[in-house]
Amino acid sequence: MRTVINNIATYLPSRVVTNDDLSKTLDTSHEWILTRTGIERRHLVSDGEFASDLGIVAAKRVIEQADFDPANLDAIIVSTTTADRHFPSCGARIQGEIGAVKAFAFDVGAACAGFIYSLTIADSLIKGANLKNILLVCCETLSRFVDWTDRSTCVLFGDGAGALLLQSSNDDHRGIISTKLYTDGSKEKYNSILAHNGPQNDHRGYTTMKGQSVFKYAIECMDQSVTEILTENDMTFDDVDWIIPHQANRRILESLCKMKNFPPEKMIITTNEHANTSSASIPLAMGYGIESGMIKRGHTILLTALGAGLVWGSAILRL
């Protein structure tokens, strides 16, 4: 039994903010942001637009593309760290809005590694609980959790959503081959992304980042997980058609290519267009790769991500 990705759809808010736009209110410039991050623009939500709104659009799109009846969904898994509210979950709202009457729904909070974590959970439910159809949605609105006067953080993030229809299949030539997850909570206190927005506070708070430490550990941790998952599956980079990492910073991705001696032309990078959209970044990059014709049915894809926690992981799948 394999878990296959039968369809993927994405959604980006219509509002686009360029580096030049930010330079009008911040002590920064297009060149300063681009050389340090690879980011040129980002999509941001408008007033009254929240994470679940983005997720609903992406979910409806993937259902329509697949010509699938949402009443046949068994579960909905939503990855987000920027939920509209503490409860009910974004998953519950999406379930109600799309008419998935028999699906149970819940949120997963694993920051930028949330897609890898959610994919692992979905794969386990299909293989272990005999579920047939799962909707996986990643929806993030990090723009609501940054200080727009702090150029060290606000220039990095964007908003967006991606949705995948995952289904059980007996096709051994497709599907999720392997996933691998890690956590090191001891690193949280000095080199992760900290969002001061928990229930213990009476305000939303802002995201802060110790950038140099995050940069260092992002490279080290993704290198570790990529090496281990390939080794455990008796594979090398020659067996991989594409690598799609979390789109945090172009310099991190280029450093990973150099460290692993991986051909940069096989890495899909959308940081310039989307900025860091947390757990939505890999689905957005996958969607771009498919829509542009680069990723095709039968291709083997290596995914890897690191997020605040620290949490990280990798996955190998064949589309």
Q: How do the pLDDT tens digits run along the chain, 319 residues long?
A: 899 999 999 999 999 999 999 999 999 999 999 999 999 999 999 999 999 999 999 999 999 999 999 999 999 999 999 999 889 999 999 999 999 999 999 999 999 999 999 999 999 999 999 999 999 999 999 999 888 998 888 999 999 999 999 999 999 899 999 999 999 998 775 444 455 544 334 445 677 666 676 778 888 999 999 999 999 999 999 999 999 999 999 998 988 888 888 888 999 999 999 999 999 999 999 999 999 999 999 999 999 999 988 999 999 999 9
Sign of the dihedral through C-alpha 161, 76, 295, 9:
negative
Q: State how far the Cα of 177 lies from the Cα of 172, in Å rounded to an integer.
A: 9
CA 162 to chain CA mean position, Å: 8
pLDDT of residue 200: 35
* Separation CA 2–CA 217 (nearest Å): 32
Report pLDDT for 204: 58
Catalytic residue from among 7, 191, 249, 276: 276
β-strand 242-245 against 104-108: which pairing, if any? Answer: unpaired
Whether 175-318 and 2-169 are alike in CATH topology: the answer is yes
Q: Which of 19, 43, 246, 249 does the annotation list as catalytic?
A: 246
Our answer to whether residue 138 is catalytic in this structure is no
Q: How far apart are CA 213 and CA 192, in angstroms?
A: 8
Architecture of domain 2-169: 3-Layer(aba) Sandwich (3.40)
Dihedral-angle region of residue 187 (phi above 0 means left; psi in -120 to 50 means alpha; beta otherwise): alpha
311 and 283 in contact (C-beta within 8 Å)? Answer: no
CB 159 within 8 A of CB 142: yes
Q: Does domain 175-318 have CATH number 3.40.50.12170?
A: no
Options 19, 43, 90, 112, the catalytic residue: 112
Q: Is 246 a catalytic residue?
A: yes
Where exactly are the structural domains of the chain? 2-169, 175-318
Q: Is 43 tagged catalytic? A: no
